Structures are given as C-alpha cells and as structure tokens.
Structure 1
Amino acid sequence: MSARAKVWWWVGGIAIFLYCLFPVVWIVSLSLKAPADLDDGRFLPSSVSWQNYELILSGSASELFLPALRNSVGICLIATAIAVVLAALCAYAVARLDFPGKAFVLGLSLAVSMFPVISIVTPLFNIWRSVGLFDTWAGLVIPYLSITLPLSIWTLTAFFREIPWEMEQAAQVDGATTAQAFRKVIVPLAGPGVATTAIIAFFLAWNDFVYGISLTSTEAARPVPAALAFFTGASQFEEPTGAISAAAVIVTIPVVVLVLLFQRQIVAGLTQGAVKG
C-alpha cells in the first residue's frame, strides 16, 4: 500500500471513529451539566455537575431507576442463559445430525428473527393479562427468547459445523456418551462462539423497548429502556434531559464492561471459521 493510500485509510478511520463517538460524548456531556446549563449551547459543560447522577441514584428518580436497573439485569441474564442453552442443543442437532426438516428449522428461526415485534405486542398483551404473566419477569423473559433465540441458533450452528467430527468420535471411542461428548468436548471447543452468542443475546435483550413498555405497568418488572420514558423534570416545564442522559450512561457501563472483559472471546468467535488450515 502506498503512503497516500495509508493516509486516506487513516483519515477515513478517524472520521468514522469520530462519527461513532460523537453521540456518546454528547450524552456524557449532557449528563454532567447542571439543569440550568442544559440549553447553554455548549458541547462540553462549563463546570462538571453530578446533580443528574444524584437524582437517579439517590434522589427522587431513584425509586424509578434503581428497580428498573435490577429488573433489566435479572431478566436479561435469565433470558440469555435460557437462549444459549436451548440454542446450543438445537444448533448441535442441526450441525451434527441428519433429520428431515433440518433446513426448515433454520429457515423458521430466521423468519422469527425477521418478524416485526410490534405486530405481536397487542395479542401478547391480551394473552399475558389472561394467564397472569403481565408485569412479571417471566412475562418478559419469554418474549425476549423470540429475539435472542433465533440469532443464537444461527450463530452457534456455524461454530459447531467448524468443529471436526473426529473430536467427538474420539471421545465416544474412549467411552463417553453422546451427551458427555457434547458437554465435555464440543461445548469447550466452541467456547468463543458460546461467549460471543451470549453477549450478543444479552445486548438484544438489554436494548429492548417495545416489550418492556407494553408488557409492564409497574416497577415490578419494568426494565430500564421503558423506565426512561417515565422520567419527569422537577416541574412540568422542565425536561428530564440530564437525568435521562445520566441513566443512559449508567446503563451503557455494563455493556462496555462485558466487551472489555470478553473482547478476546468476541474477536475469536467472530473470526472463527474465516480461514482454514
């Protein structure tokens, strides 16, 4: 690559980086501004204020934000765990076994992932109210599986197909059953793929708004994205921009921590199968 081409690549990379980083810096800047300085027209705060964080962590908005944060963490972890376990079993069967309808299973999972969520919220709302699942953790975990499970099946199927069949046969020759070979050989070898799938599934559930706002009515199960819609200012004439920005920053922290902790697994999982040999 010539020096001129390298310069253009660097310029393009920096431009994309700044374009992606600008909204994040803007939200952090708003969260650090005092309510009186939100409309001063400055990009960065003239003086750092922690009033917005105090408002949502220990102030009047804490009764709305902290229960929602607890709900989001618990519901998303449960939905992710169930989705990964079910997807691993389904993906293993699709990748390793020959049975009628295997292509239909993959096609159905893809069709479910493409189905618009908003179209099933109303009937799901009526069903949940009838069976007693409205405004409960289970009432959100089950719909979240419709978001996380299809993508998890597709992702793990690709990883399981890359694992040599001989590894499983060698374990069975040594006396392991099919279940033991799957648990002790296949799953550890597909560790990067499982970690990547779990993180992606967690992000999908964590960012959901439609289910959270439609299938809850109190703090008993309302997640953070839905709770942000109920933030109010100190008066009817004050917009809760600063409080919402502070809540968005806090909600983003778990995502950043997960990516930093599992960045090696994510990179290995996303690049696995890209090359052979």
Structure 2
Amino acid sequence: MTTAQEPSTQQATKARDSGIAWMKILQWIAIIFVVLFSLGPVLWELLTSIKTTAAITADSVVYFPSFDQLTWDHYVDLFRRNRFYIYIFNSALVAIVSTVLCLAIGSPAAYALARLKLPGERIILGTVLIITLFPYILLFLGLLEVIRLAGLANNYLALIIPYTAINLPLTILVMRSFFQQLPRDLEDSAKVDGYNTVQMLWQIVLPMTLPALVTTGILAFIFAWNEYIFALTFITRESMKTIPVAAAQLGGTSLFEVPYGPLAAATIVGTLPLIVLVLFFQRKIVQGLTAGSVKG
C-alpha cells in the first residue's frame, strides 16, 4: 500500500511544482510587459531628446542612435535660446505656493470635520465630495470672468488661487480619513497637559499624519505643475509662463518645422523634477496610501 502511494504522491508534487513554475513565468512576463508599456514612451522621449535632427527626421526610424547621432544641442538650446530656466522657476513657484496653501488650509478643515461635531457635517462632506468629482475644466469660463474683474491677469495669483481651490476638497477628504484613525487618547492627554487646539494640531497630530501630508501634497504639486488650460489663458506674459505652456509653444527654425528634439528635451526637463520628488518621498507615499486604506 505504501509503495503504491509513493509514485502518485511524487507525481502530484511534480505537477504542483510545474504549475507554480508556470505561474512564476507568467507573472514575470506580465511584469516585464507592464514595465515596458509604462516606460516605453519615456525611453522614446529620452532617446529623441539626445538624437540629432537628422536622425530624428530620417526616413528609416532610428530607435537606438549610434554615437555619432547623439547630441546635447537640444538641451543647450532649450536653456540658452528659449530661457527654459525662467519657466521652471514659474512652475515651481506656482506649484509650491499652491501646495503649501492647500495643506495649510485643508489640514485644519479636515481636523475640524473629523473631531468636532459641526452642524450640517454630512452636508459639508457631501458638498466637498461633489466638488472633488466635478470636472475642473467646467469652471474655466467663470474663473476667466473672475480673473478679469479682479484684475489678476498676468499675475501668479491667477494660478495659485484656482490651483489651491481645486486641490482643497481632495486634501480635506484624505486628511480627514487619517485624522479619524488617530486615537483620541493622545489628544485627551495633550489637553490635560495644557495644549490648546492649535498647539495640539501642530505639535502632535500633524507629525503623526506626515505620510498623508506628503501624499496629498505631492498630488497637489503634480496637478499644479502639469496644469495647462488655466496657465495658457490667465498668463500671457512671456516671462511668467509655466513649463507646459512654454513647451507647447516651442517653435522650429521655420514655420513648417516641428521641433521634435526640443519638444522631447522640454518634456524630459519638465518631468524630471516630478520623478525626483516621487523617488525622494517614495516611502512616505507608500505609507500614506497603505495607511489610508486600513482602519486603525
């Protein structure tokens, strides 16, 4: 009996091991496919930005340029002829200020909604949720009229104020969910020690929700950095344009030439700060995303 069962057991083990091996192979194929699908356009932009114009416009597509087809002229022209550093400063200023304002206003509002018994709290939360789902592009005409009446055209506030207002609802919802997960015992102990609400929020509560602050802050920063429609319409002065607008308006040496090289270089330059930012705060972002989905 025992001898007869041993071959069948070995066969079942081999079948299971072969099934696990095939699953691992399929898993790695899926991972490689997703990575190539995601990074393919980025790699193509990077290669285009360092290829010569002749290699870019060649009849036969040059996927991987040779050494004599490589050049840094597109990046040099981007900063020397097009003064792209000015647009980087403008985008950074608008994105940083609007992100700081969004966190500074949204965090206390989220804490109030999470801890205080406010009249009409459900109505407030419903309104915030509706605003979050509302397509911001539909606000364009109304904001354009407000900007015109307030005289904010060609002013950084014309971008900072809308960006802050658009990102506020998402900040409030995310931060409120984190505040609700914090134990009330800490706040009760802080009140006994003589902390007022502002001190408790600044010194105790916000440091404990740092991953959430980083996550929502980066989302707000990315939106402000990449936004195009408002920046194109509200800012017409050349020295105040942001990166998306400046990149879209790059011109070639002639009217009928598409500057593929400078466009690719501008895309890489505009995307690189976001990549560095996400990689630098990668651990905090993962903590914020995972902690927000688990009830403590």
- Classify the TM-score, shorter chain: over 0.9
The answer to whether residue 193 in structure 2 is matched with residue 174 in structure 1 is yes
What is aligned with 2:290?
A: 271
What is aligned with 2:279?
A: 260
Gaps of 5+ in 2: 1-18
What is aligned with 1:194?
A: 213
Q: CA deviation at 1:273?
A: 4.4
What is aligned with 2:9?
A: none
The one of 17, 21, 24 aligned to 1:3: 21
Structure whose CA Rg is larger:
2
What is aligned with 1:153?
A: 172
Q: Contact 2:109/2:172 (CA < 8 Å) preserved in 1? A: yes
CA–CA separation in structure 1 for the residues paired with 2:190 and 2:127: 32
Normalised TM-score (structure 2)? 0.88
The one of 54, 61, 66 aligned to 2:82: 61
Q: CA deviation at 1:275?
A: 4.2
Q: Contact 1:80/1:198 (CA < 8 Å) preserved in 2? A: yes
What is aligned with 1:48?
A: 70
What is aligned with 2:183?
A: 164
The one of 20, 34, 39 aligned to 1:21: 39
Report which stretch shifted further, 103-112 or 231-240: 103-112
Where in structure 1 do 4 or more consecutive aligned residues deviate above 6 Å?
Answer: none
Which has a greater percent of helix? Answer: 2
What is aligned with 2:119?
A: 100
CA–CA separation in structure 1 for the residues paired with 2:52 and 2:96: 34
Normalised TM-score (structure 1)? 0.94
The number of residue pairs the alignment matches comes to 274
The answer to whether residue 159 in structure 2 is matched with residue 140 in structure 1 is yes
Report which stretch shifted further, 94-103 or 261-270: 94-103
Which residue identity does 2:163 align to in structure 1?
Y
Q: Contact 2:102/2:165 (CA < 8 Å) preserved in 1? A: no
CA–CA separation in structure 1 for the residues paired with 2:65 and 2:221: 33
CA–CA separation in structure 2 for the residues paired with 1:125 and 1:276: 42
Q: CA deviation at 1:276?
A: 5.5
Q: CA deviation at 1:141?
A: 0.4
SS at match of 1:2: helix
Query: Residue deviations 1:115-145, cap 9 Å, x none?
Result: 2233222232232122210111001001111
RMSD: 1.6
Q: CA deviation at 1:171?
A: 0.8
Gaps of 5+ in 1: none
SS at match of 2:240: coil
Q: Contact 1:72/1:224 (CA < 8 Å) preserved in 2? A: yes
CA–CA separation in structure 2 for the residues paired with 1:210 and 1:113: 18
